[in-house]
Structure 1
Amino acid sequence: MSYDEQGYGNRDSGGRGDDAYSTLGGTRQTRTRLPEGDPGAPHGRRPARNTRSLVMAAGVVVLLVAAIAFANLGGGDNNKATDSGAPGSSRSDTTGGTAPTAPTGTDPVTGKIGSIASGFAHDEQGAQSAAANYAVALGSVGMFEKSKRDVILNAVIAPSQIEHFRSTLDEAYSAPFFKNVGLNEDGTTPSGFTFVSRTTPIGTKVTSSSAEVTTVEVWCTGLIGLAGEGSTKPVSDGWFTITMELSWIDGGWKAVTHSQKDGPAPVSGDTRASSADEIAGAVNGFGGFTYAR
């Protein structure tokens, strides 16, 4: 998490026009809907707090600019995926329903490009693993720093698309945007705060596959915000689905396009929101995962 880019958006995929929750590099917007009900009913829920609603609404407005920029990150028409029945397809027959992630007896990949796992197998499972790892990288704090962002793009994006992604994202990660998400104008984190941008894959599925091109959907949840006492941009969560078209290039999977749409999102629970200090402590105490299988 999170280019056609979460980050990028292929307009045909229905992301931005539907109020998408963009995650490329943590630039996201989210809408939370809480069911209304009689608090006295057996499963009635408490009305949403006005302060929480205001915070979430403000977050949507703040992140809209970057979301629009990512929506313009379109991929070309080259290397489009073909149906799974095409010659050379490695896709298994899953038309009868979805299949859970299962152990294969294959050892986890050991290669790395920077901190991003690499060396995924040239098959559907390898493509799904690559897409999940790329979603994590593209939704990370590293995307907010130019030098680290370039390393991430070089690791996960097809060479023919890197300059397109780089120029568009360099324009999106601007001083006004940094200011709107609570950062300093140069993208650094204000003293006394912890900036959070994490994407966590929940599941993956292949929607089309051929010998060299595979399209994968990654269902994700993510965190974005500034943790610390007095933060005006508190850490909030969101749910979204990223679609990546991956091409097998020079012995590895690379993302050619990236788009995103909201959900599926579960009903928000009644868990008490943690304090700013608790969130900052959790972020600093629990490291993120490199997702690989």
Structure 2
Amino acid sequence: MSQDDERGYGSEPGGRTDDAYSTLGGTRQTRTRLPDGDEGDGYGRRPARNSRSLIMVVGVVVLLVAAIAFANRGGSGDEAEGPAAGKESSAAGAGPTAATGTKPVQDKNGTIASGFAHDEQGAQSAAANYAVALVSAEILKPDIRGQIVDQIFIAERVSELEAKFNQAYDKEFLDKVGLDANGNAAEGLTYVSRTAPVGTKTTAYSATTATVEVWCTGVFGTAGVSSTNPVSNDWFTMTLKLQWAGNDWKVDSFSQKDGPAPVNTDRTASNADEIAKAVEEYGGFTYAR
């Protein structure tokens, strides 16, 4: 489904653009057992050992004790889950899609994540969450749209973009997708606009600005027996230009283009009731890089 034909809100309104915390050691115990001698003195007593043998035995025991202490230096499981364990986890070599150990999101502002880390990872996390909000069913509702715009964009752009969103999602647009003036579907129908980021990429970064591309897929349309706009899936990439403002990453501008899209499979499509039920029962995620 084309972004421009169906949703029309993939870019700025008014324009179209293409720990594993592991406890080291645990509570393992080691027992050193000395071999029994075959010879004795007739009273069950072992013959006296020479000093060299005694020194060797003591040395082995000392080494074993030292090894156990080293293995257990992380302490008990509760202690290992503290900051030290987190530091060890984050220091491990992380692949491009692996968690880094840095907490990506500190808080939520309404339903949108906020309090992102002031680094490249935090910028990618912010971009992913903002992409979901910008292509959601909620942003088509006039009484919620202003809150979303205020939470996502830098203060200097809020008034301008709110006016552009209101103009883009006018009655004509809402009628086209089967919604009333309040952004609600007709009785018996469910409007679906659910986006899922597949990956993120930073194309520019500094301490105050960042440009992040978010590759997304999603489902869009109206579910219901009488729907003339059935739910289908789409693939697109959203580019967000961010600024560090108010101790968080905020959007200055954004645009969208189609793809990259994989080849469609021959899987049988679910009926309208199944789609509507899934949207109601399955909640969304907070996305983090």
Q: Same fold (TM over 0.5)?
A: yes
Runs of 4 or more, structure 1, over 4 Å off, are: 66-69
Say yes or no: does 1:184 pair with 2:171.
no
Shift of 1:234: 0.6
Identity %: 50
Structure 1 distance, partners of 2:100, 2:264, is: 34
Counterpart of 2:171, as a letter, is A
Counterpart of 2:15, as a letter, is N
Query: Structure 2: any 5+ residue segments left out of the alignment?
Result: 18-94
**Closer, same or farther: CA 216–108 of 1 in aligned 2, 3 Å:** closer
Match of 1:240 among 206, 230, 236: 236
Q: Deviations over 1:235-281 (max 9, x none)?
A: 11110000011000121001001011110000011010111111111
Within 5 Å, which residues of 2 pair with 1:11-26?
Answer: 21=2
Shift of 1:287: 1.3
Q: Which residue of 2 aligns with 1:101?
A: 97
Say yes or no: does 1:70 pair with 2:13.
yes
Q: Which residue of 1 aligns with 2:202?
A: 206
Contact 2:14–2:168 (CA<8 Å) still a contact in 1? no
Within 5 Å, which residues of 2 pair with 1:11-160?
Answer: 21=2, 28-29=3-4, 60=5, 63=7, 70=13, 72=15, 100-160=96-156
Counterpart of 2:218, as a letter, is G
Contact 2:142–2:182 (CA<8 Å) still a contact in 1? no
TM-score by length of 1: 0.68
Shift of 1:110: 3.4
Structure 1 distance, partners of 2:131, 2:10, is: 16
Match of 2:265 among 260, 269, 274: 269
**Closer, same or farther: CA 140–168 of 1 in aligned 2, 3 Å:** same
Contact 2:106–2:116 (CA<8 Å) still a contact in 1? no
Match of 1:281 among 259, 277, 280: 277
TM-score by length of 2: 0.69
Shift of 1:184: 2.1
Query: Structure 1: any 5+ residue segments left out of the alignment?
Result: 1-19, 22-27, 30-59, 75-98
Contact 2:235–2:259 (CA<8 Å) still a contact in 1? yes
Q: Which residue of 2 aligns with 1:291?
A: 287
Shift of 1:185: 3.9
Contact 2:200–2:214 (CA<8 Å) still a contact in 1? yes
